[in-house]
Amino acid sequence: MPGHVSVLSKLYAYLYLRGFKVWISYKTNAALTMLSWIIPVFTYYFTGTALGNKIVSVLGGGSYTAFVVIGLAFQGYVSSTITTVSQRLRNEQLYGTLEYYVLSPSGMLGFLTYSSLWGFALNSINMIVILAIGFGLGVRYSPSGIMTASIIFILLLLSSFGIAAISGAVVMITKQGNPIAFFFSTFTALMGNTVFPVTALPWYLKELSYAIPLTWALQGLRESLLEGVGIGALSNIIYILVAFTLITLPLGLYLYTKAFDKARKDGTLSQY
């Protein structure tokens, strides 16, 4: 029971007090954030309407609006989870409070885990809003693909958490400038199969996009949620995402722990 209460108190502190309360206190920023969820859906909807024939030919006859809705709904999980962890570490360094987390019962790994939960919670709202807008614009989802989509989604989160740990390790060492967070927050929309198919990219960017878990996850999520494709037909994508997870998660935790140990040994943990 005490352990159960401890987890709930940490969830309350990180999600509500440290996450939602701080976020909603900046009302202008919160409003702009929500607008940033909604406006791109309509932007790409009208883009698809204006350029419909050309884009649909690339998609093999599929709906461009449906393609973009799934991409925008789930791409945020990757960029936000990765940037949230690095930003939280950076902020605690600036506030001089990072060492308090080291001394707390949850420790640095707990800090990594619970910090990523706010990004997950915020993007869950983002996902629901975008999928609902997509439904209003005529996108229809297949109930038979929900189970498969859930598996793909969980694997995407796990691999993203591993990348977030690598991003956190970079912040602890470099203090400023994080190429990992910059790449996944900026270029995944371009090269991650988010707003147009990777087949439309030049070959060198196409090969790079296949090294991003999001590219494979969005392909599987579209086929499962829009077409109802089952686990068997998407087994190759699931195996690829499992491989990404088995690489990024242990590697991320290892580098994060090593970076923390180095910063603590050098006495630079709270330096900024």
Q: Looking at the domain assignment, is residue 68 inside a domain?
A: yes
Q: What is the tally of structural domains in the chain?
A: 1
Cβ neighbors of 96 (< 8 A, separation 6 or more) are: 270
Over 80: is that where the pLDDT of 27 sits?
no
Range(s) of the domain holding residue 185:
2-266
What global pTM score does this model have?
Answer: 0.75
Confidence check: pLDDT of 124 > 90: no
Long-range Cβ contact pairs of 129-132 (< 8 A, separation 24 or more): 129/34, 129/37, 129/38, 130/37, 130/38, 130/41, 130/69, 130/72, 130/73, 131/69, 131/73
Residue 146, pLDDT score:
92
Higher-pLDDT residue of 76 and 5 is 76
Q: Is residue 56 part of a domain?
A: yes
Residue 34 lies in a domain: yes
CB-based burial label for 183 (10 Å; 0-12, 13-18, 19+): middle
- Is residue 44 in a domain? yes
250 closest CA partner among 162, 173, 182? 162
**Residue 60 pLDDT > 60:** no
- Domain-located, residue 272: no
Look at residue 106 and tell me if it is in a domain.
yes
Choice among 74-83, 88-97, 195-204, 207-216 with the minimum mean pLDDT: 88-97
Residue 271 lies in a domain: no
In a domain, 64, yes or no: yes
Which residue type, as a one-letter code, is found at position 271? Q
